[in-house]
C-alpha cells in the first residue's frame, strides 16, 4: 500500500451534517461518480451506507455501499479528494468496506466503473478481479467494467482494518445491507439496491 501522507485520520459513519460535503464532492466528480439525488444521499446517510475518512479534522474521502439481503456488498461510490490521491486513503476506506462485509457477513464486494477512469487501476491494484465488460451510459456509448473482490481478498483487506483504532465502531448489522423497502418520494430502487430518480 502507498504510504499515507500522515496517520491523523479517522474512519467513521457519515452524519446528516456531512451531507453538503458529500454533495459537493459528487458535483466535483460527477463525471466519474455519477449522479446521486439529494434525497438519496440523505436516505443513505440515515441508513448507515456512507463511510467517511476524516483527515486532521477535515472530510477527505467517502464510500457509499449497499446490498440486498443475500447479495454481495456493492460499492456505489468511492471518492477521495483529488489533492489526496495515491496516498493510501482510498485503500483505507476500502479496507473499512471489507470489514463491513465480513461482519454482515458477505463473501463478495462488487462494483462497476466506467472504462478510461484512473479508478480502474486502483481496483486492480487492491486485488479486484475484472469479471465482465458491458456497454453502459447514455445510449450505451461507454463501456462499464465489473469488478469483484472474493472472500479471500475481503478477508485480506479486512485484516488491515480489524484492529485499527482509527476506525470508529461503525455499528454494523446485517440490516445495514437489507433491501430498501420505502424509498423517499421521487425515487425508485434499482435491482442492485441503489436509489435513482423516478421519472414520469
CATH code at position 55: 3.40.630.30
> Is 105 a domain residue?
yes
> Is 174 a domain residue?
no
> Is 183 a domain residue?
no
3-class secondary-structure state, position 107: coil
Residues 6+ apart with CB under 8 A from 140: none
Which is it for the CA torsion 137, 117, 195, 199, positive or negative?
negative
Residue numbers of the domain that contains 146: 9-163
> Is 1 a domain residue?
no
Tens of pLDDT, residue by residue, the chain (200 residues): 445 555 688 899 999 999 999 999 988 888 788 778 889 999 999 888 899 999 888 899 999 988 755 678 888 899 888 777 777 888 899 998 888 888 777 788 898 888 888 889 999 999 999 999 988 766 657 888 999 999 998 898 888 888 888 887 654 443 444 444 444 544 444 444 455 443 32
> Is 45 a domain residue?
yes
> Is 127 a domain residue?
yes
Please, where are the H alpha helices in the chain? Answer: 19-28, 30-33, 38-46, 89-103, 119-125, 151-162
> Is 196 a domain residue?
no
Number of domains in the chain: 1
> Is 20 a domain residue?
yes
Amino acid at each position: 500500500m502507498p504510504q499515507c501522507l500522515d496517520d491523523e485520520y479517522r474512519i467513521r459513519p457519515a452524519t446528516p451534517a456531512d451531507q453538503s460535503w458529500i454533495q459537493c464532492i459528487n458535483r466535483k466528480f460527477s463525471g466519474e461518480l455519477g449522479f446521486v439525488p439529494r434525497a438519496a444521499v440523505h436516505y443513505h446517510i440515515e441508513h448507515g451506507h456512507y463511510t467517511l475518512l476524516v483527515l486532521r479534522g477535515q472530510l477527505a474521502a467517502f464510500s457509499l455501499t449497499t446490498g440486498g439481503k443475500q447479495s454481495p456488498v456493492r460499492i456505489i461510490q468511492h471518492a477521495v479528494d483529488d489533492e489526496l490521491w495515491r496516498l493510501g486513503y482510498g485503500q483505507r476506506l476500502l479496507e473499512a468496506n471489507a470489514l463491513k462485509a465480513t461482519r454482515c457477513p458477505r463473501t463478495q464486494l462488487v462494483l462497476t466503473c466506467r472504462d478510461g477512469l484512473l479508478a480502474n487501476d486502483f481496483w486492480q491494484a487492491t486485488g479486484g478481479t475484472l469479471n465482465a465488460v458491458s456497454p453502459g451510459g447514455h445510449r450505451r456509448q461507454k463501456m462499464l467494467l465489473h469488478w469483484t473482490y472474493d472472500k479471500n481478498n475481503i478477508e485480506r483487506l479486512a485484516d488491515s482494518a480489524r484492529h485499527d483504532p482509527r476506525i470508529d465502531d461503525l455499528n454494523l448489522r446485517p440490516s445495514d445491507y437489507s433491501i430498501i423497502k420505502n424509498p423517499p418520494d421521487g425515487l425508485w430502487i434499482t435491482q442492485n439496491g441503489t436509489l435513482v430518480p423516478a421519472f414520469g
